[in-house]
Chain A
């Protein structure tokens, strides 16, 4: 499981627009680097990132090798009701890492 850092206000008022910052540990191997024998190191990146809010997708990113290692993605979302934000990162092999965070709405 790659280390993940997710940041957004845990408590917010309905209707607020909050900024969500995410960071995940991943080398984002581009497929263009050569090893010391001259062979290309195979591509291995996170190609998709999604965020759902109580089940509804509120943000999605399709990523290419031009996204830096340890991808940082920040976006905003409107606070609706108390519940769960679920973040998913999918890599080239189809493996998905999911993190869930609570949001409490006044």
Chain B
């Protein structure tokens, strides 16, 4: 995950604050985990969120998704549902129009189903 994040941000620093990554702390099934990311931003032409990138720690790939917003979004907000292979940390990074990056992280405990068909 660290490498994938470095690919995105290069040498830049990750500013804390502004980004809020929300996930349930514990889930009954890792197949469909609701996730939302919101970023405090006026979303004007001069000052907005360009994109939100989501990374995970323990799935086979570190990438989850990248969402591209811009001033037409009005609000820097996305919601989706993701798959988590195991209990792990998620990181959301927002790229702002001034080139800086902010982030937030969340830890999720994934419990396993009992009676499966396999």
* A/B contact in complex, CB under 8 angstroms: yes
Q: Which residues between 67 and 114 of chain B lie within 8 Å of chain A, taking CB atoms?
A: 67-75, 77-84
Most buried by A among B59, B60, B65, B69: B65
A65: B residues at CB distance < 8 A: 59-61, 83
Q: A61-B67, A74-B78 are in contact. Are A68 and B33 (CB under 8 A)?
A: yes
The distance from the CB of B94 to the nearest CB of chain A, in whole angstroms, is 14
A26-B59 Cα distance, complex, nearest whole Å: 20
A106-B69 Cα distance, complex, nearest whole Å: 24
Q: A71-B80, A71-B81 are in contact. Are A61 and B75 (CB under 8 A)?
A: no
Q: A67-B64, A68-B33, A69-B31 are in contact. Are A76 and B83 (CB under 8 A)?
A: no
Closest to A64 in B: B63
A100 on interface, CB distance cutoff 8 Å: no
Q: What is the predominant secondary structure among interface residues of chain A facing chain B?
A: strand
Residue contact B78 to A72, C-beta cutoff 8 Å: no
Residue contact A60 to B68, C-beta cutoff 8 Å: yes
Residue contact B80 to A67, C-beta cutoff 8 Å: yes
Residues of B at under 8 Å CB distance from A? 31-33, 56, 59-61, 63-75, 77-84
Sample of 9 further A-B pairs with CB below 8 A, known A56-B72, A61-B66, A73-B78: A58-B73, A59-B68, A61-B68, A62-B68, A64-B65, A65-B83, A66-B56, A67-B65, A78-B71
Residues of A at under 8 Å CB distance from B? 17-19, 21, 30, 32, 53, 56, 58-69, 71-78, 80
